[in-house]
Structure 1
Amino acid sequence: MDPIALKAEFPILNQEINGHPLVYLDNAATAQKPRSVIEAVKRYYEWDNANVHRGVHTLGSRATDAYEGAREKVARFLNAASTREIVFTRGTTTGLNMVAHGYARQVLKPGDEIVITPMEHHSNLIPWQQAAKATGATLKYIPLQPDGTVSLADVESVVTENTKVVSITYVSNVLGTVNPIAKIAEIVHRKGAILVVDGAQSTPHLKVDVRALDVDFYAFSGHKMCGPTGIGALYGKAQLFERMEPMEFGGEMIDFVDLYESSWKDLPWKFEGGTPIIAGAVGLGAAIDFLESIGLEEIDRHEKKIAKYAMERLSAIEGITIYGPKEERAGLVTFNLGDVHPHDVATVLDTEGIAIRAGHHCCQPLMRWLNVSATARASFYLYNTEQDVDRLADALVKTKEFFGYEPAR
């Protein structure tokens, strides 16, 4: 894998920001798009644009084939048992809300338990708060270890016979923690609960096999894996999807409509009311083709190498505090520079042409656990290089000088 050659496939990366070549290190927020994805969406709008599942004309047939073909690619990409287990969504947030509303609210009752962790993104926390309030269920948390990991012993003790839903991120968007999903699934199922996984930060970087992991629901977003914004997918075991109620009602998801009663289409279409995100699905399919042409295992190896190098370079800068596990982490580094606010750090880095993320990263409870209000985050992808990390480290040294940082004595 040649990240320099790959970088040439991404038109947006060939530009200068504030007089410097762009170094894009905000991939956990969204990844950039290769030409093949941009061209696939462009071609769809230029040649195949029509509504799906309805028209009998040629454009309608081609659009339907493209849309359902993308679903087949997602099913293969995740190793789902069939396309019936793949529902297109607007992204991870929508998928997790669908499970919390359409499944959890149907099965939960007072005395039942929902279990999550303090490292969850707000999109995998707030829906469960709301589900608990609506049903009378109890929301519980698996505690974090000092390095930001989860202990399987804690999973065993927190998940009880009263637990009905456990929802956890595969990869933390702040800590870089990679949770042992398959081992957690074994515990969760032994206790009689289902496992929901937030795959926003794992799907672009790791080879995901939902059947090997034995997850019950798995949600992800296309825009973090070189696809368009506004498209994602929710995987669910067919028997669980059958029990779920749709969240949206109207055209496209119906089988028969009478004046007072209606029935729904079969899976997965009963969850896809209205005109779907057709061009987004086409772009997502093209993104999957692009990633598979490189190999997810190769992408994972490259990112871990870059993250390790970044840990070494940033750790050598006096005043930098790095959060999360030292080993076995995903391709991101979250840090603070002394008492300099992360927004100020990000602003100075931007003057050097370096894009990072600063803030609470939609993880306010985790920020409180870290005892900070915000952090800076550099996140890497397949087109990042060690030279990008060098630029980041050099710019952080300049940032220290700019703010006159002096270490505490």
Structure 2
Amino acid sequence: MTNAQLKIDLIAYSKSIGIDKIGFASTDSFLELKERLKLQQSLQYDSGFEEPNIEKRTEPNMIMPQARSIVSIALAYPSKMKNAPRSTRKDPRGIFCRASWGTDYHHILREKLAKLEQFLQERVADVVCKSMVDTGELSDRAVAERAGIGWSAKNTAIITPEFGSYVYLGEMITTIPFEPDTPIEEQCGTCTKCIDACPTGAIVQGGQLNAQRCIAFLTQTKGFLAEEFRVKLGNRLYGCDTCQTVCPKNKGKDFHFHPEMEPDPEIVKPRLQPLLTISNREFKEKFGAISGSWRGKKPIQRNAIIAIAHYKDQSALPLLEKLLVEDPRPVIRGTAAWAIGKIGGHEVKEALNQALEKEQDQEVCDEIQKAITRIPYYHTNES
């Protein structure tokens, strides 16, 4: 069998197992990406979650010396939730970003890639393959761009003509020299809606993202959030979709091809108050299957506290005051103090003062003191 015929057969097989788009790329060095990554590191714009070795991220042959081509795949995920519960001041809810709806996409794509590997192994005796999804050395987006899956947009996402940017990406390096596909020409044009809409100004310019300011990254951190970011978080518990939802190329894009990607509304748009007291076991049982749980419950709880402050939910004050004096984690105690100050009320100053007398952690003390000084300014109509 020729490589050309094998490529045709692999494309057909990929469709039969539910891969929505497939493309093929060379293993040449990603030279443009390499320079961009060097600049990102020098500016401290990277998130720290990436592979730190730039050479590994841009030199496929460092990962597999005998590599001859890369197969890139894309799976479309839903952008709209059926029967989504409303979030109101009386019933405030948080939200997980669309990319974390349904079963963790890492598992879904790895299963698809494993089937592609098996398909090739059954036809080429000495083939060697290595697959990766998101956490591998290579940049999924750079591979997808080269393989003609889509173009790299100004918000740094890959936009496909068929599915917009609502796609999961993965790739497989292989020793088979498949003919590479042609990249798609960039189609953002003069549009800057994603840049203009970014809540924190994280999109520095078209194609350049400061991950340290990106809400999608910030929701996954475990420490204190700077106040400038707390007030921008809204009710986001994990991730951020703003730069995708404002994109004209995503208008009307909503695909429900994969049942395992369908969201459970009570999981991806949960009530906020129950998150404050959820146990580790309960968190794992309820949220463990989605990708948004990978950092554990602490960031989600911190973000839930911030979201409660966003809604100024007075009914949550007893829970927040309990966290302030009883939770063993300084980040949760300090964020609770900030939220109490934002919500305000007749008796919160006394609760904050009492907590301050017992608090030993300096960062938490600072948060309590700032919350105390701000209460009158948030509630000037109170006696």
Same fold (TM over 0.5): no
TM-score between the two structures when normalised by the length of structure 2: 0.23
Larger proportion of strand: 1
With a CA cutoff of 8 Å and minimum separation of 6, indicate the structure with the bigger relative contact order: 1
TM-score between the two structures when normalised by the length of structure 1: 0.22
